[in-house]
């Protein structure tokens, strides 16, 4: 299966794509040293075809592609994302055990789940493979299940969600979570930190990886999350924010050059 593997312990650095469905962006992410792609179909205009192109390029470039699907998108949509080359699916707004179990079920072939079988998958370079190869390899290393913790209800159901077999990562959606908690983007708030500590405890108890999303350019919070909470999956930013930040810095530098000549 192209030498890729599901998320394991360690800090995975993740590059988000929501703007540019280009193979060049995948190459940039790989060359920069990122471990995985976070291809965003929840908050973007990217299509399923765009996602498949990015996933296939990721497989070839040696950077593991994950796809975030829209909330309540349906099992059929998730299946098409996996058939398109994703090595795992990111499910937003998972708030109950039932939702976590449903995420696992559609991501896995029987007997672990209910994913439907097809042939010549991009994860196997479109080479025909027997079911005896496709099923165990896909279930074990090619269908990482990442559930996002973003609601008050999810915090109340942490133990139940984290205990679901087949769930690999609990990814904190920090922006939506802080909005729900009434402390929008206040990552230094004791309320946010308490929630993060609860998520960390649930992950450690059930052997899951904790992920961090939505906190960028904040090494203090990121360092605390990695070193104190054991976060092992970090979304470093998205293509749109990288472009905007660099463009702003360039424009400001040019203004300084112009003023220095006056």
Active site residues: 43
| Euclidean distance between CA atoms 180 and 242, whole angstroms | 27
Q: Are 226 and 183 in contact (CB under 8 A)?
A: no
**Residue bearing tokens 């703007």:** 19
Q: Is the dihedral of CA 165, 168, 174, 175 positive or negative?
A: negative
Cα distance between residue 45 and residue 214, in whole Å? 19
* CA–CA separation, 217 and 183 (whole Å): 19
Token code pair at residue 93: 């707004």
Give the CA count within 13 Å in the CB-facing half-sphere of 51: 28
N- to C-terminal Cα distance for the chain? Answer: 60
At residue 107, what are phi and psi to the nearest 5 degrees? Answer: -90, -15
| Contact between residue 162 and residue 208 where contact means Cβ atoms under 8 Å apart | yes
């Amino acid at each position: 299966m192209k030498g890729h593997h599901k998320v394991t312990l360690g800090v995975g650095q993740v590059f988000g794509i929501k703007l540019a469905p280009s193979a060049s962006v995948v190459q940039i992410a790989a060359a920069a040293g990122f471990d995985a792609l976070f291809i965003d179909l929840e908050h973007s205009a990217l299509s399923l075809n765009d996602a498949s192109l990015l996933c296939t390029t990721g497989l070839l470039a040696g950077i593991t592609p994950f796809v975030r699907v829209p909330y309540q998108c349906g099992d059929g949509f998730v299946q098409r994302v996996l058939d398109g080359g994703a090595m795992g699916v990111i499910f937003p707004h998972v708030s109950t055990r039932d939702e976590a179990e449903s995420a696992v079920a559609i991501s896995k072939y029987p007997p672990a789940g209910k994913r439907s079988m097809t042939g010549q998958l991009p994860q196997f370079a479109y080479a025909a493979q027997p079911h005896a190869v496709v099923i165990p390899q896909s279930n074990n290393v090619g269908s990482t299940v990442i559930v996002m913790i973003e609601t008050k209800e999810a915090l109340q159901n942490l133990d139940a969600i984290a205990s679901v077999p087949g769930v690999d990562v609990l990814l904190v959606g920090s922006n939506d979570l802080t909005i729900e908690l009434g402390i929008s983007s206040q990552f230094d708030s004791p309320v946010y930190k308490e929630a993060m500590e609860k998520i960390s405890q649930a992950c450690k108890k059930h052997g899951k990886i904790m992920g961090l999303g939505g906190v960028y350019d904040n090494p203090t919070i990121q360092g605390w999350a990695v070193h104190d909470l054991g976060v092992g999956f970090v979304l470093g930013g998205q293509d749109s924010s990288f472009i905007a930040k660099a463009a702003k810095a360039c424009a400001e530098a040019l203004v300084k050059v112009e003023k220095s000549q006056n």
